[in-house]
Amino acid sequence: GPALKDEVVLLGGHLDSWHSSTGATDNGAGCAAVMEAARIILASGLKPRRTIRVALWSGEEQGLFGSTAYVKQHFGEKKNGTLTKAADFDKLSAYYNLDNGTGKIRGVYMQGNSAVRPFFDAWLAPFTDLGAKTLTLSNTGGTDHLPFDAIGLPGFQFIQDPVEYDSRTHHSNQDNFDRIQTDDMKQSGTIIAAFAYQTAMMDGKLPRKPMK
């Protein structure tokens, strides 16, 4: 119904990069993949029930400034253990982030939210032959899903193949376009498109963790 159009599935990566190179894998690749996910959905002629939005953050490298400010403005903030909700707190279904290089998606860090497992299991099932099948309750840090997770909203980072991320490209002068793996990027864009579309089509919002 019309009410679902007001609800949002958010995809994101960060555009700022370490200064010694162009930031191709950190995080041009993630930004390209979430934009490609949106393009795939549009090109397929699909009509999601919810709004799918792409956010490309700045200030991630300095301390998640872009995503933190956005979350505070639209969804709320938690101070001294007290959550103050903003206008759109109940409108977000999920936030999906890609920020660990050019490598293909292997699964999802569920950030301790066991209630999403049956959904993610079903959505990953078509991609097991592409190597994406791992669901872990583990948290992962250091990127833009954290401000969402911090106020109890479903925010997730995908698990990715490391490729050369930790050994060569991350925050180094080697983080250039020639380090991008084309086929891995196509796989990521496709899986993110599926997650975005499936989340947008659910009868209800994705389950949230109980607030501590």
Catalytic residues: 60
Q: Please state, as a whole number, how many other Cβ atoms lie within 10 Å of the Cβ of residue 59.
A: 16
138 in Cβ contact with 132 (< 8 Å):
no
Cα gap 141→146, rounded to integer Å = 7
Of 155, 60, 44, the closest CA to residue 109 belongs to 155
| Strand ranges inside the chain, DSSP E | 8-14, 51-57, 76-79, 82-85, 92-97, 105-109, 134-136, 155-160
Cβ neighbourhood burial of 99 (10 Å; 0-12, 13-18, 19+): buried
Contacts of 138 (CB under 8 A, 6+ apart): 109, 110
Full strand arrangement of the beta sheet holding 155-160 = 51-57, 8-14, 92-97, 155-160, 105-109, 134-136
- What count of other Cβ atoms lies within 10 Å of the Cβ of residue 42? 11
DSSP state of 167: I
